[in-house]
Homo-oligomer: A and B are copies of this chain.
Amino acid sequence: MLTTIAVDAMGGDNAPAVEVEGALQAARDLRARILLVGREERIREELARQGVPNPRKQRLHIEIVNATEVITMEDPVAQAVRRKRDSSIRVAARLVREGKAHGLVSAGNTGAVMATAKLVMGTLPSVDRPALAGIFPTLKGNGTVLLDVGANAECKPEHLRQFAIMGGVYSRSILGVRSPRIGLMSIGEEDIKGNDLTKETQNLLKETPVNFIGNVEGRDIFTGDVDVIICDGFTGNVILKTSEGLVAAIMGLLRTELGQTILTQTGAILSRQAFRSVKKRLDYSEFGGAPLLGCKQICVICHGSSTPKAIRNAIRVAREFYKGNLSARIESELSEMSLARK
C-alpha cells in the first residue's frame, strides 16, 4: 500500500495553489498518495488550472477531502482550534488519527497546527512536550537538527532532556548519523556559562545515555560538527528567524552590489552557477519543513511562505518519518530511559 499523506491544502500564504502544485510534484516523484484537504471546489479549480482536472486519468494518486473551514494566520489559536471543527487542518489531523493517512503536512498557522496535532493525534505517553525540529545547512553539507524551534517558549530541564532523545532518534533514523553528537545551546563552551535552564540541563544530560558533547554556541550550528542542538523554543525560534533574516539580507546586499557596474554585472553572470549552488544549499525549502516530534503520529509543519518544492519535500519527510517508524522509536527510547531511572 502506498504511503498516504494528508496535506492541509488551505494552510499557506498562497493556498491552495502552492499546496496543489507541491502535492502534484510529490505524487509524480515520490510514489506517495496525497489527500488534499480543504474547500473541495477551490482545490478542484486549482487542479484544473494546473492542467490536472482529473488526477486519476494521469495515474496520480491524489484525492480531495472536503473541509469547509479555514484557520487563518490571524485567528486566535486556542479559540480557532476549539471552534473550527471542520477546518482543513483539523480534518487532515483526523484522517491521520483514523488511519486514513499516515502523516500530515501543513503550511498553516504554526500555533494552530501544533495545537491541533497534539489535540487530535495526541502526545506519546513518555513525552511531556512535543517539539518542533528544524534542520540547518552546514559547511560540511550535513544538516544540523535544532530543537525546539518554536513549540514551547518556556521549557524545564526535563523537557530539554527529552528533546535530546527525540533529536537523536531523528538524526539516527532519518539522517543516518550513527552516534549523533548532541550539544546544548549556550553562550560559552565552559559548563559554568549559560542561564539557569542550561546549567540545570547540563547535569541532567550528563546522566542521560546520549552522546552529549556539552555546551555549544550559535556559530556551531553551521560548522557540521554537531548533529543535534537542543534549546528552549524561544531561543530556537529566535535562531531560526535570525538565520532566515540574515540569509535574505546577505542575498539582497549581494544582488544590489552585483548590479552596480557593468563589470560586476558581467562577473555575476559568469559566476551564476556558484550563486545558484550556494542559494540551494541555504534554501530552507530543500529541507522540507519541520517535524513536530513527540506526537503519536506524524506531523510536518512548513513555513507559511512555502514554495511548491517545500511542500513536496515536506511530504517526502512525512513519508520517511512514517516508514522509519519514528514515533514508536521515540516512545521506546524514552520509556526505556525512564524505566532505567526508576
Contacts and interface: CB of A to CB of B under 8 A. Distances in A.
Interface of A: 137-139, 150, 153-154, 185-187, 193-196, 198, 217-223, 231-235, 237-250, 252-254, 257-258, 260-261, 263-264, 266-275, 277-278, 281-282
Contact of A218 (B186, B222, B242): B242
Nearest to A271: B267
Given A223-B245, A270-B270, A253 B139 contact: yes
Contacts of A154: 195-196
A162 to B, nearest CB: 19
A219 B237 contact: no
A199 to B, nearest CB: 9
Contacts of A137: 249
Given A244-B218, A246-B246, A270 B273 contact: no
Contacts of A258: 271, 274
Contacts of A257: 273-275, 277-278
A271 B268 contact: yes
Given A271-B263, A278-B257, A195 B243 contact: no
Q: What 8 A-B pairs are tightest by C-beta distance, nearest first?
A: A267-B271, A219-B245, A267-B270, A218-B241, A218-B242, A257-B274, A222-B249, A187-B237
Given A254-B278, A257-B278, A153 B219 contact: no
Contact of A195 (B138, B153, B220): B153
A309 B64 CA distance: 62
Given A153-B194, A267-B268, A267-B272, A219 B248 contact: yes
A25 B141 CA distance: 40
Contacts of A153: 187, 193-195
Contact of A187 (B139, B234, B271, B277): B234
Nearest to A193: B153
